[in-house]
Amino acid sequence: MILGIDVGGTHTDAVLLDGRKVVKKVKVLTNPEDLGSSLLEVTRELLEAVSPGEVTRAVLSTTISTNAIVQNKVSPVGMILANGPGIPPSLLAIDENSQFVSGYMSHRGIPVTPVNGREVEEVAGKLQIKGIEQVGIVSKFSSRNPRLELDIEKAAGSRFRHVSLGHRMSGNLNYPRRIATTFLNAATWEIFRQFVDVINAFMDSFEEKFPIYILKADGGTLEINQSVKYPAQTILSGPAASIMGILSLSDCGEDAIALDIGGTTTDIALFADGVPLLEPQGVTIEKHKTLIRGLRTKPIGVGGDSAVRYEQGSFVIGPERLGPAAAFGGPGPTPTDAIIVLGLAATGDRKKAEETLKPLAERAGLSLEAAAEEIFNGACRLISAAVSEMIEAVNNKPVYTIHELLEGRILKPKILHVVGGPAEAMAPRIGEILDCTVSIPPNAEVANAIGAALSRTTTELTVLADTEKQTLTFVEEGIQIPISSTFSREEARELCLDHLKKRALSFGAREEDLEMEITEDQSFNMIRGFTMTGRNIRIKAQVKPGLMADFGKGGPG
């Protein structure tokens, strides 16, 4: 049996699953001061229905890192940055603890200027005097060659309790994002480590152990003790839990749209052949644009409780929420009130809903029914328009080859999965507008916990081979090995998949869940003066976000 727990901002949801069957579900209010206590509370309750020996794994989705960042309860971090020429340092610094040192790596991963050990020691000393215990070390193009970061770590690392290295965060290029990601990782390390300690201590109280996983922003899981190295990967796992939940409840294997219609906002996600789409670069949290792999979601300010006004001849819906719907004792009209007036949902106080809409209807010169219809339609249209925009953005993403430009895959979702309070009432109309079949999955109220429970372990790996330099780099692992000048693209692919597998297993993946794919596969002939001098090979592979082998499409239901 599997435990799935989602510690959300308001509620902590937990499920005990036997196969796909929900044996028990628990919902408690989250204690924002002590997330660990909410977690332990629901876990204890679930474990009343099963003995720990029968549990094969538990997966947690937690807002611990997210909250620490949003509420600015993170540790101060010293950033040691080898930036070299390019955009100005003022646009790279996180705060006054960002220190710039010499050292420059070229785009080909060739060190142009080495690290100056004495300068690094000096900078580290300054940070140490300030009482800083966590540092992030990031060099430009460290995802081409980690050398400078490793050299800086060697010169300064021992002075600090924790060091986050840029190249371990992501194999992608983008220096400002790599700096932000490394900063967040170092900044949340302490608070996340303490959280893991609490869980480990709790687990120690059981005779029989089971592995615990943490859900990441990309909808994949990571073994809890491994996750201590990568706390930044766990931010924004909440929306990922919902999306994975929809995936697990709907048997989605094709292009699809997922909507989570809440009170204030509606979250939109998209699937391509049943695989949730990822943010092209990485997630954004507060002001930080990062390289953290995350599921692509788009929130819009329309939900069941959005405030409705009548302005300049039309109804304006959202984006603010003033309180619950009038039918539930709230201050003013909302789409939920319109839904109740139209008889699309038999909840709340219908009379209050009618009363709150009446003045609006009069001002609009419409009957009560007609006004409710217009508000309801308006909310559905806003959501549909945002969905269309998101699909268009995905289909218009820049591509860099003629082949992709002319024959690129176009996302054409024909199925709409909807969860959330107003799902039953609004889904049919939205489906009509978007020309999609509608599905409302069962157990939707604990979709997030189910999603966390059933997600597989994911990771990615970038392999760069430069046959002119005769070097191969496993970027995220910070390892370089020599290769021959005849090293081929096929060999690079093989090596990449082989190491990806090892990497995933070390993160806690099960062999049978390793659905791997190559996501980038390029080889360029390097021409210098009408002669080919080598090949520049770039391979990226991932374990796709998805459900564990027995629970995906086609598995036993």
Question: Residues near 366 by Cβ (< 8 Å), separated by ≥ 6?
Answer: 374
Residues 161-190 that bind another protein (CB under 8 A): 172-177
Which runs of E-coded beta strand occur in 194-264? 212-215, 221-223, 256-261
Q: Residues 47-66: x/- map of binding to another protein (CB under 8 A)? A: --------------------
Q: Which of 266, 331, 342 lies closest to 304 in space, CA to CA?
A: 266
Residues 527-556 that bind another protein (CB under 8 A): 527, 529-532, 536
The only residue of 87, 201, 322, 479 in contact with another protein, by rule CB under 8 A: 87
Number of separate helices (H) and strands (E) present in the chain: 15, 27
Mapped onto helix, strand or coil, the DSSP state of residue 469 is: coil
CB 463 within 8 A of CB 490: no
Residues 254-283 that bind another protein (CB under 8 A): 281
What phi, psi does 328 have (nearest 5°)? -110, 25
The only residue of 9, 32, 53, 86 in contact with another protein, by rule CB under 8 A: 86
The only residue of 400, 442, 556, 557 in contact with another protein, by rule CB under 8 A: 400
Virtual CA dihedral for 290, 192, 477, 121, nearest 10 degrees? 90
The only residue of 89, 125, 329, 359 in contact with another protein, by rule CB under 8 A: 89
- Amino acid 95 reads D
CB 328 within 8 A of CB 348: yes
Q: Choose between 158 and 531: whose C-beta lies nearer to another protein.
A: 531
Q: Choose between 10 and 531: whose C-beta lies nearer to another protein.
A: 531
Q: Choose between 201 and 405: whose C-beta lies nearer to another protein.
A: 405
Question: 522 forms bridges with which residues in the sheet?
Answer: 538
- How many whole angstroms separate alpha carbon 264 and alpha carbon 303? 5
Q: Choose between 503 and 538: whose C-beta lies nearer to another protein.
A: 538
Nearest-approach distance from CB 530 to another protein, in angstroms: 5
The only residue of 131, 313, 365, 398 in contact with another protein, by rule CB under 8 A: 398
CB 335 within 8 A of CB 422: yes
Question: Residues near 172 by Cβ (< 8 Å), separated by ≥ 6?
Answer: 143, 178, 281, 282, 291, 462
Nearest-approach distance from CB 551 to another protein, in angstroms: 36
Mapped onto helix, strand or coil, the DSSP state of residue 72 is: coil
Please choose, out of 315-323, 395-403, 454-462, 502-510, the segment that lies near another protein by the rule CB under 8 A: 395-403
| Beta strands 57-62; 2-7: pairing state | parallel
Please choose, out of 23-31, 149-157, 394-402, 490-498, the segment that lies near another protein by the rule CB under 8 A: 394-402
The only residue of 10, 33, 72, 85 in contact with another protein, by rule CB under 8 A: 85
Residue 536 is given by DSSP the state E
Q: Choose between 84 and 348: whose C-beta lies nearer to another protein.
A: 84
Residues 103-142 that bind another protein (CB under 8 A): 104, 106-108, 112-113, 140-141
The site for another protein, by CB under 8 A, has a size of 45
- How many whole angstroms separate alpha carbon 382 and alpha carbon 301? 9
Please choose, out of 89-97, 313-321, 378-386, 485-493, the segment that lies near another protein by the rule CB under 8 A: 89-97
Residues 278-337 that bind another protein (CB under 8 A): 281, 289
Q: Choose between 118 and 403: whose C-beta lies nearer to another protein.
A: 403
Residue 220 is given by DSSP the state -
Nearest-approach distance from CB 510 to another protein, in angstroms: 34
Mapped onto helix, strand or coil, the DSSP state of residue 258 is: strand
The only residue of 401, 485, 506, 519 in contact with another protein, by rule CB under 8 A: 401
CB 487 within 8 A of CB 473: no
The only residue of 287, 406, 410, 511 in contact with another protein, by rule CB under 8 A: 406
Give me the half-sphere count of Cα atoms (radius 13 Å) on the Cβ side of residue 444.
19
Question: 35 forms bridges with which residues in the sheet?
Answer: none
Residues 473-532 that bind another protein (CB under 8 A): 522, 524-527, 529-532
Alpha-carbon distances, residue 30 vs 42, 221, 239 (angstroms) = 10, 22, 17
- How many whole angstroms separate alpha carbon 317 and alpha carbon 168? 44
The only residue of 10, 21, 72, 88 in contact with another protein, by rule CB under 8 A: 88
Please choose, out of 27-35, 67-75, 85-93, 545-553, the segment that lies near another protein by the rule CB under 8 A: 85-93
Nearest-approach distance from CB 291 to another protein, in angstroms: 10
Please tell me whether residue 411 binds another protein under the rule CB under 8 A.
no
For another protein, the binding residues (CB under 8 A) are 84-91, 104, 106-108, 112-113, 140-141, 144, 172-177, 281, 289, 396-403, 405-406, 522, 524-527, 529-532, 536
